Amino acid sequence: METLSEEILSNKTEKVTISQLWDNQPPVIHWCLGLTCVSFSFVYVLLFTML
């Protein structure tokens, strides 16, 4: 039982660290990710219209 509890605790700590890292990132990174998604969608729309 000790191993199961340790695994659950490690998984919870990993999730918390990932969320904390995402929250600690400056908003500039969020803007960059959003712009990259918009640019990729724009390129896909252009390719779809060309076909």
* pLDDT at residue 40, as a whole number: 93
* pLDDT at residue 43, as a whole number: 93
Q: What is the pLDDT of residues 2-49, one digit of tens each?
A: 677 777 666 666 666 767 776 777 778 778 888 898 999 999 999 999
**Cα separations (Å) of 1 from 6, 7, 12, 44?**
9, 10, 17, 50
Whole-angstrom distance, CA of residue 22 vs CA of residue 45: 29
**Cα separations (Å) of 18 from 4, 24, 32?**
21, 10, 19
Burial of 3 (0-12, 13-18, 19+ CB in 10 A): exposed
